[in-house]
Amino acid sequence: RKEVEQDPGPFNVPEGATVAFNCTYSNSASQSFFWYRQDCRKEPKLLMSVYSSGNEDGRFTAQLNRASQYISLLIRDSKLSDSATYLCVVTFWGGYNKLIFGAGTRLAVHP
């Protein structure tokens, strides 16, 4: 079983739609959680951290459920520019800042 699992998609949605991605992780000792965004043939870029109480950044809302070991990302009012792959990242201290990446969920927003 992979340490971090994501639905690879693609999720094809029209502009203005609301879309949600989930991610599950296996290590209960995981400390921190992030969503990264990766455009085609580009480097991953930090989208947002995920806090236990849930957090929002504009149209993006992240939730964490430690008991069930899953993380979610909700995108409201999708834009064409949101088309990308979204990487779920889980960290824990394994002698170093160990980041475990999911393989990513691809989102395609169409007009």
Residues lying near another protein in the complex (CB under 8 A): 2, 4, 8, 31-32, 34, 42-46, 49, 87, 89, 91-93, 95-104
Return the number of the residue (38 or 72) whose C-beta is nearest another protein: 38
Shortest Cβ 55–another protein spacing (Å): 14
What per-residue string of b and e applies to 84-98 under the rule 16 or more CB within 10 Å gives b? bbbbbbbebeeeeee
User: Hey, is 82 helix, strand or coil?
Assistant: helix
Minimum distance, C-beta of residue 10 to another protein, in the bound complex (Å):
14
The residue among 78 and 107 lying less far from another protein, judged by its C-beta, is 107
**Strand 84-93 versus strand 97-101 pairing type:** antiparallel
How is residue 31 written in tokens?
């400390």
Q: Whose Cβ is closer to another protein: residue 84's or residue 102's?
A: 102
